[in-house]
Amino acid sequence: MREVRFHNTLTGKKEPFLPEDKNKVRIYSCGPTVYNFAHIGNLRAFLFVDLLRRSLRALGFGAEMTMNITDIDDKIIRESISSGQNIQEFTRPWTEAFFQDLETVGIQRLEHYPKATDSVPEMVEIIHLLQKRGLVYEKEGSLYYSISKFSEYGKLSHIDSTGMKTGTRYDTDEYEKDDVRDFVLWKSPKLEGEAFWDTDLGKGRPGWHLECSAMIRKIYGSGIDIHTGGVDLTFPHHENEIAQSEGAYPDEPFVKYWLHSEHLLVNGEKMSKSKGNFFTLRDLLQKGADPKALRFLLLGAHYRSKLNFTFDRLEEANQAVQRLQTCLDRLLTEKETPSFSFRDASPIPTRELWEQMLDSLADDLNVSKFLACVYEAVKSLNQRLDKRALTAPQAEEAVEFFRKADGILGILEFERKPETLDSEIDELVQRRQEARKNKDFALSDQIRDRLNELGIVVEDTKDGLRWRRK
Ligand code: AMP
Ligand code: ZN
């Protein structure tokens, strides 16, 4: 098995990836907050998880993966109150929309999608353990984590915690970058009609950071191999997860490798709901975009590089997808009705290229190199097809290559589109001639357009009308 290396935010280095059990790599990813449609920046983070899953499988690992659904936080509480619905009613359609979007862009299902509201007892349990270790204090009915008591606070985001303002607190679920303060674990209800749980901690609801610590515990027991999320989650969210989990279970490992995916930008700025500079998947579909093109665009940049979204880039991605599909279609045809006309065919490079593609994935998911190999294969195969220098078994081998590549890319169709039969075209040409004879130009034009769509050129010759495929 080849050595796999991932960039670990904790150490700031690319490290050999050595999971506890290679047949069951334990992965947790921060998922969506379900109060609206996801934007395509969020989708980039979810597609990264899909790339990780598909790559690990191609590299010979098995995985058990989890993505949480945040179905309670400040925004959800505010919006559910104003819509007059309870939390479940309010979040259900957004959760469904999230799963639909994943399917539309070809994201494979994970093993677990736990909801925050289903894990409250596990969150309460963690708070109890933190209280026992003297890491929690109370203020006006809410409970806060005293970060100055956790000596390793800051080790993930590499913030300097020496000048920390101890005792200053944040009540909100999200706060500004690098502003280091105590964070809330349990919030007493503040708003009229706000959802709360009546527990031995008092009436309240969990702070946002706590759910991930609790779900990891609930699903995997002790530590996991990989934790992922967008870079914006490194601080404070993931730093706080470490403080909670390692604070509550100091003798157990928590996360071995932290992988963070970079942002999707618009005009150089992070795409975000609050800035209003976002597109949802549905916005793009309405404009006629192909979800495969979006998938290709978002996957095509390395996960640790920023990517600027433009419609020109989306169109380029669309053309790249078409180019791969056209080559595959030609191979599928060739496999069934070979046009091979040379005695000796030299070998095709797909086997070596596939090995190089696996090496690229093993090197911190280097998709740019992976794609360069795909393009090289397409170029070489197209040349061979043009020269009719590809045997049927080679065409078969090339199709297999595409199948393996698509195990990662997830954009190709392997069902050959049935070609229109020659007899059907003969009939159309015949009907067009009759229409012209009868001066029915509307019908004649209609048939001409249909022939055009089918890629048929009709020529007037001295022997009458002849047709050929473009
Ligand atoms: P949210 O639904 O806001 O909790 O975000 C879900 C995921 O999307 C998180 O992993 C975020 O880090 C990620 N995310 C948010 N905005 C962007 C963006 N513009 N580009 C890439 N990932 C993002
Ligand atoms: Zn999380």
| 110 within domain boundaries | yes
Query: Within this chain, do residues 439 and 463 fall inside the same structural domain, yes or no?
Result: yes
What is the sign, positive or negative, of the torsion defined by CA atoms of 240, 245, 246, 248? positive
Query: Within this chain, do residues 401 and 426 fall inside the same structural domain, yes or no?
Result: no
Averaged pLDDT, 186-202: 89
Q: Which residue ranges are tagged as binding site for ATP?
A: 273
**Cα distances (Å, whole numbers) of residue 366 to 105, 121, 292, 298, 314:** 20, 41, 20, 14, 20
Mean pLDDT for the chain overall: 92
Tell which one of 29, 40, 42 to mutate to probe ligand 1, the residue whose CB is within 8 A of the most ligand atoms. Answer: 42
Closest CA to 69 of 38, 24, 25, 23: 38
From 388, 409, 430, give the residue that closes a domain: 409
In the reported structure, the alpha carbon of residue 32 is separated from the centroid of ligand 2 by a whole-number distance in angstroms of: 9
In the reported structure, the alpha carbon of residue 334 is separated from the centroid of ligand 1 by a whole-number distance in angstroms of: 44
Query: Within this chain, do residues 173 and 149 fall inside the same structural domain, yes or no?
Result: yes
In the reported structure, the alpha carbon of residue 248 is separated from the centroid of ligand 1 by a whole-number distance in angstroms of: 27
Diameter of the chain measured on Cα atoms: 98
Query: Within this chain, do residues 162 and 24 fall inside the same structural domain, yes or no?
Result: yes
Query: Within this chain, do residues 350 and 374 fall inside the same structural domain, yes or no?
Result: yes
Query: Within this chain, do residues 327 and 434 fall inside the same structural domain, yes or no?
Result: no
CATH classification at residue 104: 3.40.50.620
DSSP conformational letter for 371: H
Query: Distance between CA 254 and CA 69 in Å, rounded?
Result: 20
| 299 within domain boundaries | no
Instruction: Check residue 429 and give its pLDDT.
Output: 87
Instruction: Give the pairing of strands 224-230 and 25-29.
Output: parallel
Q: Which atom of ligand 1 is nearest to the CA of 32?
A: 2
Query: Distance between CA 63 and CA 373 in Å, rounded?
Result: 26
| 268 within domain boundaries | no
Partners of 255 in beta bridges: 224
Closest CA to 362 of 65, 58, 8: 58
Residue 31, pLDDT > 80, answer yes
Ligand in nearest proximity to the CA of 114: 2
Tell me which residue has its CA closest to atom 8 in ligand 1.
42
Instruction: Check residue 167 and give its pLDDT.
Output: 60
Ligand in nearest proximity to the CA of 263: 1
State the pLDDT confidence band at 448, using cuts at 50, 70 and 90: confident
Partners of 458 in beta bridges: 467
Residue 227, pLDDT > 90, answer yes
In the reported structure, the alpha carbon of residue 270 is separated from the centroid of ligand 1 by a whole-number distance in angstroms of: 10
Sheet holding 255-261, edge to edge: 63-67, 25-29, 224-230, 255-261
pLDDT tens for 91-101 read: 999 999 999 99
Averaged pLDDT, 237-245: 97
Query: Within this chain, do residues 450 and 313 fall inside the same structural domain, yes or no?
Result: no
Q: How many domains does the chain have?
A: 3
Return the structure tokens found at 110: 């994970």
Residue 127 parent element (H or E): helix 120-132
Query: Distance between CA 451 and CA 459 in Å, rounded?
Result: 12
432 or 14, greater pLDDT: 14
| 270 within domain boundaries | no
Query: Which residues form the domain of 191?
Result: 5-261
Closest CA to 249 of 215, 212, 209, 213: 213
Inter-residue contact 353 to 402 (CB < 8 Å): no
Partners of 29 in beta bridges: 67, 228
Closest CA to 304 of 118, 37, 44, 107: 44
| 300 within domain boundaries | no
Instruction: Give the pairing of strands 142-145 and 136-139.
Output: antiparallel
Query: Distance between CA 4 and CA 56 in Å, rounded?
Result: 9
**Cα distances (Å, whole numbers) of residue 215 to 80, 208, 241, 453:** 24, 12, 11, 53
Residue 299, pLDDT > 60, answer yes
In the reported structure, the alpha carbon of residue 208 is separated from the centroid of ligand 2 by a whole-number distance in angstroms of: 8
pLDDT tens for 136-158 read: 999 988 999 999 999 999 999 98
Tell me which residue has its CA closest to atom 14 in ligand 1.
42
| 164 within domain boundaries | yes
| 210 within domain boundaries | yes
CATH classification at residue 391: 1.20.120
User: Is 42 a pocket residue for ligand 1 (Cβ < 6 Å)?
Assistant: yes
User: Is 32 a pocket residue for ligand 1 (Cβ < 6 Å)?
Assistant: yes
Q: Which residue ranges are tagged as binding site?
A: 30, 212, 237, 241, 273
State the pLDDT confidence band at 28, using cuts at 50, 70 and 90: very high
DSSP per-residue string spanning 142-207: EEEE-GGG-TTTTTTTT---TT--TT-EE-SS---TT---EEEEEE---STT---EEETTEEEEE-
From 380, 409, 438, give the residue that closes a domain: 409
**Which are the contacts of 353, defined by CB distance < 8 A and separation ≥ 6?**
373, 374, 376, 377, 401
Query: Within this chain, do residues 242 and 376 fall inside the same structural domain, yes or no?
Result: no
Query: Within this chain, do residues 440 and 355 fall inside the same structural domain, yes or no?
Result: no
- The number of beta carbons lying within 10 Å of the beta carbon of residue 258 is 22
Tell which one of 47, 75, 211, 232 to mutate to probe ligand 1, the residue whose CB is within 8 A of the most ligand atoms. Answer: 232
Ligand in nearest proximity to the CA of 260: 1
pLDDT tens for 249-275 read: 999 999 999 999 999 999 999 999 989
Averaged pLDDT, 366-385: 96
Instruction: Check residue 177 and give its pLDDT.
Output: 47
| 149 within domain boundaries | yes
In the reported structure, the alpha carbon of residue 280 is separated from the centroid of ligand 1 by a whole-number distance in angstroms of: 12
Query: Distance between CA 3 and CA 13 in Å, rounded?
Result: 15
Min mean pLDDT across 57-61, 335-339, 367-371, 427-431 is at 335-339
Q: Which atom of ligand 1 is nearest to the CA of 70?
A: 4
Query: Distance between CA 364 and CA 29 in Å, rounded?
Result: 17
State the pLDDT confidence band at 131, using cuts at 50, 70 and 90: very high
Tell me which residue has its CA closest to atom 12 in ligand 1.
230
Long-range (24+ apart) CB contacts under 8 A made by 312-318 are 314/284, 314/289, 317/293, 318/289, 318/290, 318/292, 318/293
Q: Which residue ranges are tagged as binding site for Zn(2+)?
A: 30, 212, 237, 241
Query: Within this chain, do residues 151 and 217 fall inside the same structural domain, yes or no?
Result: yes
Query: Distance between CA 428 and CA 444 in Å, rounded?
Result: 10
Query: Within this chain, do residues 222 and 317 fall inside the same structural domain, yes or no?
Result: no
Closest CA to 387 of 343, 342, 354, 453: 342
Query: Within this chain, do residues 335 and 432 fall inside the same structural domain, yes or no?
Result: no
User: Is 270 a pocket residue for ligand 1 (Cβ < 6 Å)?
Assistant: yes
